[in-house]
Amino acid sequence: MIHTMTIGKDIYPDESTISYILKKMKKPPQFQSMYFSTDEAFDHLYRKCTYYPNSLYFGINAIQLIRYGIETIDMATDEKNYTVAFQLRFVVNPYRLIHQNEPPSVNLFIPTANNISLLNEQFDRFIKCFLPALYDEFTFDKMLAKRIDYSFNFKIREPDKRSAFYKVIHKTSMYNRTKLCKSDTQKRYEQSAAEKNKSRKIIIYDKAAEIANMNYINTNQKRTLEASAREIIRFEIQFSKQGIKNLVQKYALKSSNVLNFLDKDIAYNELISGYKNTIGIEDFYDRSNIKSILRKSCTDSMSEKLINITKMIAQTRSIAVAKEKYVTGYALKNSSVTLKGTTQTFNNHIKKLRQLGINPVPLTDGDKVCHVQNPIHQLEEMYKNLI
């Protein structure tokens, strides 16, 4: 349920402490690293870095640390007032951190009491090795959450149905308080979709395709990972700094201490609500099956209206765009029918389709797939097993 998280703690401007950390960054014990600008930063402690032009930034992208569950270590000042404090931050893959002696895996961290205890222990052990002089101040239980990614691995086993699912997820969102955006995965392959606002980003992507683009693991590991990820659709909600603040308020948390976010109920609630808003919980059908279901459940008049709404969504390639076109008026292609009405009427039609268990986005005709079960039940079943 948790993919990665950025955790950290303030360090007040004490040159001896900062210098100590930078020295460790220059030569992390037993690890090879790729540097941003650490050498220059150490020589000019208060030198601005091109990566963060409005702040001071020193960091290592710890490629060789990834197998240990630590993906990045960096130190940065407040974006506007860098005389106040530095932050020492760690990007952590919690599953990998507690399974560092096992082969790489696509599994996610499940926040059970035992796993949280192991995570505490393994992170503290890493700090003791990497920054022994700061160990007392940087134990896991003192860390604040800066970002957290709640995730779930859905599976659709049949390749043709999985392909059909990837085609419809670009059209399902109503973009309620979010905007369409391009994720890093979309820049590399099409089997992904993303939307965001100031506090969170929601992404859906083909896990096997992502692994195929990884260049920091050897060929054999990549082949094994790709095989294990072949059926996986990763759904992920990335909460930014503002998102963390929103979660603190929403769930009445005492602070942004990372332990408060390692909560299965919070993770599930955010994943389930994000999925419903982005994709919906209904199954996907082709036009023929949609017509059959509607004609058995509605009057001829209502059935025709709802069928036309699904045609409009297919033609505009988005529920959100279809909604806009419906208000201004939209002439269906290859038809004499023009659809026009209020936003409320459109919403009522969408609601009716959902009540009948039909996702308003029809499957693409050319895929020859007539039905795809919505994988949302997999998340619901996993959560029930944790309760």
Q: What is the mean pLDDT of residues 269-282?
A: 92
Buried (b) or exposed (e) across 216-231, using 16+ Cβ within 10 A? ebeeeebeebbebbbb
Write the DSSP assignment of 107-136 as a string of letters: --B---HHHHHHHHHHHHHHHHHH-GGGGG
What is the pTM assigned to this prediction? 0.83
Q: What is the pLDDT of residues 163-216, one digit of tens each?
A: 899 888 888 765 555 455 555 544 444 556 776 788 888 888 888 888 877 766
Neighbours of 199 (CB within 10 A): 17
List, in order, residues 6 or more apart from 170 with CB less than 8 Å away: 193, 317, 318
Q: Mind listing the pLDDT tens digit for each residue in 54-101?
A: 444 455 544 445 556 776 676 665 555 444 456 778 888 999 899 888
- Higher per-residue pLDDT: 277 or 111: 111
Q: What is the pLDDT of residue 293?
A: 95
Distance CA 379, CA 366 (A): 29
Phi, psi angles (nearest 5°) of residue 196:
-155, 165
Q: What is the pLDDT of residues 306-328, one digit of tens each?
A: 999 999 999 998 898 899 999 99
Between the CA of residue 151 and those of 90, 119, 203, 270, what are the distances in Å? 19, 18, 9, 10
